Amino acid sequence: MKIVCIGDSLTYGYGVEQLDSWVHLVRKRTGLDLMNKGINGDTTDGMLCRFEMDVLSLKPDWVFVMGGSNDLIMNVKPNIVESNIASMCREALKKSIEPIIGIPPNVDAANVREDWASYSNFSKVAEQLAKYRDRLLLYSRNSGIKKLDFYSEIEKRAISGIGELYFDGLHMNETGHKIMADIFCGFLMNNTTHCSKIK
C-alpha cells in the first residue's frame, strides 16, 4: 500500500531530524510505503500546483492532504484554503486515489518565535485555524471523504497544554511528532486492513 503525504512543514518535519518526523515514524512502525512530500513554507496553492508531479504521477493508493496554516498566516481566507484542499481531493478521486483530509494542529500563539510573531497576528491565526477546522469537518461530512483531525486529537493528548509539544509555537518537537505518528497509526488501524501489526 502506497500513501503520499503532501503538505507543508508540519508534514515535512521542520526542526527535527527526518528520522524523527511523524511520517518516517509511521513508515517505520507500519512497514507501509509512505512518501513525504511536505515542503517547508508551502501553501495550499503551492500544493495544488505540484499535485500532478508529487501525487498523481506516483499513483498511490491514498493521498494524505494537509495544509493551510501558512495560508492563514498570510491572511488568506479559510474558504479559499478549503477550496484548494477540495480541488486536490477531486483530482485524486479522478485517478482512483483515495484522499484523506488532514486537519492541522493549532498554533501555540503565546509562544511563537519572536521574529515570526512580528510577521503576523498569531492570535488571529489561531482563530482562523479553528474556523478552518470547522469548514474542513463540514466538507468531509458532506463529501464523504475521510479526515484525520490532528487539531482536536493533539489537544486531547497534550497533558499540560499544546505548548509542550512545540519548539517555536508553530512546529512540533520530537514529542509532538511521536504523538502525531500515534494519531496517524491509530487512523490507519481503524481504516485499513494493512496495519493489523502496528506496534
Report the alpha-carbon distance of residue 92 to residue 72 in Å, rounded: 24
Cα–Cα distance between 71 and 199 in angstroms, integer? Answer: 35
Q: Which helix (H) or strand (E) holds 179?
A: helix 174-191
Q: What are phi and psi of 65, to 5 degrees?
A: -115, 115
Q: What's the average model confidence in pLDDT over 170-174? A: 95
* Cα→Cα distances 178→5, 24, 157, 181, Å: 16, 10, 11, 5
Supply angle C-alpha 97, 153, 105, rounded to 5: 75
Residue % of the chain over a pLDDT of 90:
85
Total-model pTM: 0.94
Instruction: Please report the pLDDT score of residue 193 as a whole number.
Output: 66
Q: What is the pLDDT of residues 102-160, one digit of tens each?
A: 999 999 998 898 888 888 999 999 999 999 999 999 999 999 999 999 999 998 988 77
Grid-cell match 479553528, residue found: 130
User: What CA–CA distance (Å, rounded) separates 186 from 179?
Assistant: 11
**Quick one: residue 107, left, alpha or beta (phi over 0 = left, psi -120 to 50 = alpha)?**
beta
pLDDT at 197 over 50: no
Identify the pLDDT of residue 199.
Answer: 47
Range scoring the smallest mean pLDDT among 32-36, 155-159, 185-189? 155-159
> Under a CB-based contact definition with an 8 Å cutoff, are residues 145 and 139 in contact?
yes
- Name the β-bridge partners of 7: 38, 66
In order of start, what are the domains of the chain with their CATH numbers?
Answer: 2-191 (3.40.50.1110)
- Rounded to the nearest integer, the mean pLDDT of the chain is 93
55-92 pLDDT per residue, tens: 999 999 999 999 999 999 999 999 999 999 999 999 99
